[in-house]
């Protein structure tokens, strides 16, 4: 699926770094609809519907705000899932408890993005503490979301490149998809260093047979890779059917978990 690194795209990413995680913004770029979780819900849904009718999207990406906005962000996810049949990815902005992670999943989130900065090394007492905190967080997330449905956006802003490579390997071993994002600090690194990180990342994705297809619309915007396009009407039709099947299976799993939780509450008299 991944072709060689496109050097022009890599230069553009280094020179025009953008922050896609904006809890107060709403915009479409490529085939991704970026949705701020802090926005007014119903007026946002109306705008999304009008835009979606004009041009289809392949991925909805919700950015959560701070801890005080969690309930608002959760309701945004819930309403989007009710009104659109689309894969929904969400990026959190702060540490979440196990119950909060489960609530996000049951609300309708298909893919959870836990950026490395949330459990950043600079906030931990030492490297071992940082790794322990991060390991626990991803263990909690993967206990609710199925394998390869949790991703982590990491950068080299507070780490050297070897630590980035170690993080990539650790995440993959735990069924989490590592992503590499270029920050303002990373853009100061030379072209070869950044290209080497992306090359290692692609090699490790391939080695671990990571199913990237659900997040390819995002990867087209945030990575320098050229991805092979599905060509032909029949192949495109089959791809859409497979995508709908995956979403339906995910929604069924979510429904069964929700029903089980409701039954437990009823049996307990709650």
Range of the domain at 243: 230-270
- Taking a C-beta distance cutoff of 8 angstroms, is the pair 151, 213 a contact? no
Distances (CA, A) of 24 to 40, 49, 107, 109, 217: 9, 18, 20, 19, 21
Shared-domain flag, residues 193 and 266: no
| Domain match, 23 and 108 both | yes
Give residue 239's pLDDT.
Answer: 47
Residue 148 and residue 113 in contact, taking contact as beta carbons nearer than 8 Å = no
* 100 and 193 both lie in a single domain: yes
Least confident of 55-64, 67-76, 126-135, 185-194: 185-194
User: In angstroms, rounded to a whole number, what is the distance separating the alpha carbons of residues 23 and 18?
Assistant: 14
CATH number for 12:
3.20.20
**Over 90: is that where the pLDDT of 169 sits?**
yes
Q: Which residue has the tokens 């770029």?
A: 29
| Closest C-alpha to 61, from 48, 70, 50 | 48
Does residue 127 sit in the same domain as residue 26?
Answer: yes
- Poorest-confidence range of 18-27, 168-177, 255-264? 255-264
pLDDT the model gives residue 160: 78
d(CA 28, CA 167): 30
The count of structural domains within the chain is 2
Residue of higher predicted confidence among 37 and 246:
37
Confidence of residue 4 (pLDDT cuts 50, 70, 90): confident
Q: Do residues 234 and 215 both lie within one domain?
A: no
Categorize the per-residue pLDDT at 238 as very low, low, confident or very high, splitting at 50, 70 and 90: very low
How far apart CA 12 and CA 139 sit, in angstroms, is 35
**Percent of the chain residues topping a pLDDT of 70:** 77
127 lies in the same domain as 256:
no
Global pTM reads 0.82
22-26, 52-56, 179-183, 231-235, range with greatest mean pLDDT? 22-26
Task: Tell me the pLDDT tens digit for each residue of 78-102.
Answer: 999 999 989 999 999 888 999 999 9
Is residue 252 located within the same domain as residue 140?
no
Please state the separation of Cα 226 from the chain's center in Å: 19
Per-residue pLDDT at 144 exceeds 50: yes
């Amino acid at each position: 699926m991944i072709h060689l690194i496109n050097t022009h795209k890599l230069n553009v990413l280094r020179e025009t770094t953008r922050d896609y995680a904006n809890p107060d913004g709403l915009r479409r770029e490529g085939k991704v609809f970026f949705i701020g979780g802090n926005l007014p819900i119903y007026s946002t849904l109306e705008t999304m519907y009008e835009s979606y009718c004009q041009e289809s999207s392949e991925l909805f990406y919700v950015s959560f705000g701070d801890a005080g906005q969690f309930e608002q962000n959760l309701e945004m996810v819930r309403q989007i899932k009710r009104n659109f049949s689309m894969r929904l990815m969400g990026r959190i902005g702060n540490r979440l408890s196990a119950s909060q992670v489960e609530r996000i999943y049951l609300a309708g989130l298909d893919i959870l993005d836990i950026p490395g900065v949330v459990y950043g090394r600079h906030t931990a007492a030492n490297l071992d503490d940082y790794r322990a905190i991060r390991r626990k967080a991803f263990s909690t997330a993967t206990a609710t979301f199925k394998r390869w449905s949790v991703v982590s956006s990491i950068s080299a802003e507070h780490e050297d490149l070897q630590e980035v490579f170690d993080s990539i390997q650790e995440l993959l071993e735990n069924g989490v998809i590592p992503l590499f994002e270029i920050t303002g600090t990373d853009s100061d690194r030379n072209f070869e260093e950044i290209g080497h990180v992306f090359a290692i990342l692609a090699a490790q994705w391939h080695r671990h047979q990571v199913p990237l297809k659900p997040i390819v619309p995002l990867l087209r915007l945030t990575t320098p890779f050229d991805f092979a396009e599905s060509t032909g009407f029949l192949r495109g039709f089959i791809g859409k059917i497979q995508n709908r099947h995956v979403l339906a299976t995910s929604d069924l799993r979510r429904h069964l978990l929700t029903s089980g939780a409701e039954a437990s509450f009823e049996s307990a008299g709650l």
